[in-house]
């Protein structure tokens, strides 16, 4: 059965981006966050992006208006009760996510699939907070969701084949290519590969081997990456690398994943990347 409506819990850059993507692909979306200003801000960002597309003649005014009309905002999680799929896209903190999953489990119908957009954390642990572990799954979009083509579909211990198939189908309907992560492991595929690159890049800078700018240039030209590691950390949020690193250390009990002091210090200084106007680089907000 084709899904025509989804819920998104969390209206930050990822949640808002997922809602934007779903709406332009013809899905109705209920976008929920704890305060009205968060959902209003997300809709304003979406409208701004759509206005740019209209100006570039990539879409019509009518198409823009239709996409915005497909998004309903709320601060009441009870409004997610009727949707067949809820995608959680809140802060990367396991306790906060577990609390959200417990609430969603109580609110949503028994057939509703609850998916997490977590980039690294255990789907099995989140599923254990519910009475429907077979219908809990990872659905990891990449930033920005409108552009990045991949969705990691992650199995928890009890995730059913049907759940994986339905979420994969929704991913395709949203114009993405799903890949199945068969075992619930920290970092899944992409972050399991990417985090060592981030940490080594910071260590190279910390040891004075090369400048941040030259490391980014070397990675872009030598590995043909579109962005260097420091540019990418600034784009996604520098603090996320620390959270993921800490989680890997806890899960693997291996200090090779420990965040270098330089990375910790830049986060402590409040330089979290583009969203704060400064990270590894300085930006005009």
The answer to whether 214 is a known ligand-binding residue is: no
Residues 79-126 have pLDDT tens digits of: 999 999 999 999 888 999 999 999 999 999 999 999 999 999 999 999
Q: What does the CA dihedral 123, 116, 186, 225 come to, rounded to 10 degrees?
A: 160
Share of the chain above pLDDT 90, in %: 95
119 tagged catalytic:
yes
228 annotated to bind ligand: no
Q: Which domains are delineated in the chain? A: 5-181 (3.40.50.720), 191-276 (1.10.1040.10)
CB 176 within 8 A of CB 150: yes
Q: What is the pLDDT of residues 124-137, one digit of tens each?
A: 999 999 999 999 99
pLDDT of residue 182: 98
pLDDT at 2 exceeding the cut of 80: no
State mean pLDDT over 262-268: 98
**Per-residue model confidence (pLDDT) at position 208:** 98
Give the relative orientation of helices 13-24 and 61-69 as an angle to the nearest 10 degrees: 120
Q: Which of 191, 231, 243, 245 is catalytic?
A: 191
pLDDT for the residue 27: 97
Q: Is the pLDDT of residue 12 over 70?
A: yes
Residue 1 in this model has a pLDDT that exceeds 70: no
Average pLDDT estimate for 249-253 = 95
> Is 180 assigned a catalytic role?
no
Q: Is there a binding annotation on residue 33? A: yes
What band does 285 get if pLDDT is binned at 50, 70 and 90? low
Q: Is 11 marked as a binding-site residue?
A: yes
Residue 140: active-site member = yes
% of the chain beyond a pLDDT of 70: 99
**Mean pLDDT over the full length of the chain:** 96
Residue 168 in marked binding region: no
Return the residue matching tokens 């806890």: 250
Catalytic residue among 152, 168, 171, 245: 152
pLDDT at 284 over 90: no
In this prediction, residue 55 carries a pLDDT of: 97
Tell me the pLDDT tens digit for each residue of 138-173.
Answer: 999 998 999 999 999 999 999 999 999 999 999 999
Q: What is the pLDDT of residues 42-66, one digit of tens each?
A: 999 999 999 999 999 999 999 999 9
* Whole-prediction pTM: 0.92
Q: Considering 120, 140, 171, 231, which one is annotated as catalytic?
A: 140
Q: Is the pLDDT of residue 21 over 90?
A: yes
**Does 10 count as an annotated binding residue?**
yes
pLDDT at 217 over 80: yes
Active site residue 53: no
Q: Pick the catalytic residue from 20, 116, 117, 119.
A: 119
At a CB cut-off of 8 Å and minimum separation 6, what does 202 contact?
Answer: 229, 259, 260, 262, 263
């Amino acid at each position: 059965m084709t899904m025509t409506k989804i819920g998104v819990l969390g209206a930050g850059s990822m949640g808002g981006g997922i809602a934007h993507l779903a709406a332009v692909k013809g899905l109705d979306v209920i976008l929920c966050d704890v305060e009205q200003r968060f959902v209003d801000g997300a809709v304003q960002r979406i409208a701004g992006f759509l206005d740019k597309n209209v100006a570039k003649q990539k879409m019509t005014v009518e198409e823009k208006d239709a996409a915005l009309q497909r998004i309903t905002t709320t601060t009441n999680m009870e409004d997610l009760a009727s949707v067949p799929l809820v995608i959680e896209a809140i802060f990367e903190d396991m306790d906060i996510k577990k609390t959200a999953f417990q609430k969603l489990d109580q609110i949503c119908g028994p057939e509703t699939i609850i998916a997490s957009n977590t980039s690294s954390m255990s789907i099995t642990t989140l599923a254990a907070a519910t009475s429907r572990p077979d219908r809990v799954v990872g659905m990891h979009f990449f930033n920005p969701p409108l552009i990045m083509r991949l969705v990691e579909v992650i199995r928890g211990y009890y995730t059913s084949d049907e759940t994986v198939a339905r979420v994969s189908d929704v991913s395709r309907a949203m114009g993405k290519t799903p890949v199945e992560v068969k075992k619930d492991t920290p970092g899944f595929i992409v972050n399991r590969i990417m985090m060592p690159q981030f940490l080594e890049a910071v260590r190279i800078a910390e040891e004075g081997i090369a400048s941040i700018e030259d490391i980014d240039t070397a990675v872009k030209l030598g590995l043909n990456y579109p962005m260097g590691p420091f540019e990418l950390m600034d784009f996604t949020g520098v603090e996320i690398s620390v959270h993921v690193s800490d989680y890997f250390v806890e899960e693997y009990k291996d200090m090779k994943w420990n965040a270098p002091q330089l990375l910790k210090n830049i986060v402590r200084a409040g330089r979290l990347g583009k969203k704060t106007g400064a990270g590894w680089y300085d930006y005009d907000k």
